[in-house]
Amino acid sequence: MARFLIVEARFYDHLNDMLVAGARAALEAEGHEVEVLTVPGALEVPGAIALASESGRYDGYVGIGVVIRGETYHFEIVAGESARGIMALTMDGMAIGNGILTVENEEQALVRADPAQKDKGGEAAKAAIALLDLQARFAA
């Protein structure tokens, strides 16, 4: 059993609730412990994971959030930089599943967030579990 921290960018409550539910269900189905930490936005997710990792309390992480394209360039910055930050931590050997949705509209987000449909929260959790398993495999 491992301890996972779900770090959620709490912006769209109804969408985040579904993403967190999917991630939690996937982790708990494998017998893992789960905690949830809320941050203001997707850009804060990698930083929060990095800070939490310093505690040594968690074995893996799932980043959750929703970024919906707007009328400005802000979407590209938030989508790209949050993914880059998570990837940088992953490349440093951390087990992180990226469940930050980057979509054109709320309808796309609903389909992807809903555990009964695309369940991207659950998929992100399964990715984090897979990376944790690889850590154990290569550490042996």
- Catalytic positions: 74
**Amino acid identity, position 118:** K
CA dist list (Å): 4 to 32, 54, 59, 63, 115: 7, 14, 6, 11, 19
SS3 content of the chain, % helix, strand, coil (to 5): 50, 20, 25
Residue numbers in the known binding site are: 11, 42-44, 66-68, 71-72, 98, 112
Residue numbers in the known binding site for (2S)-2-hydroxy-3-oxobutyl phosphate are: 71-72, 112
Taking every pair of C-alpha atoms in the chain, what is the biggest distance, in angstroms? 50
Residue numbers in the known binding site for 5-amino-6-(D-ribitylamino)uracil are: 11, 42-44, 66-68, 98
- Residues contacting residue 88 through CB under 8 Å, at least 6 positions apart: 46
Residue (of 97, 89, 90) closest to 22 by Cα position:
97
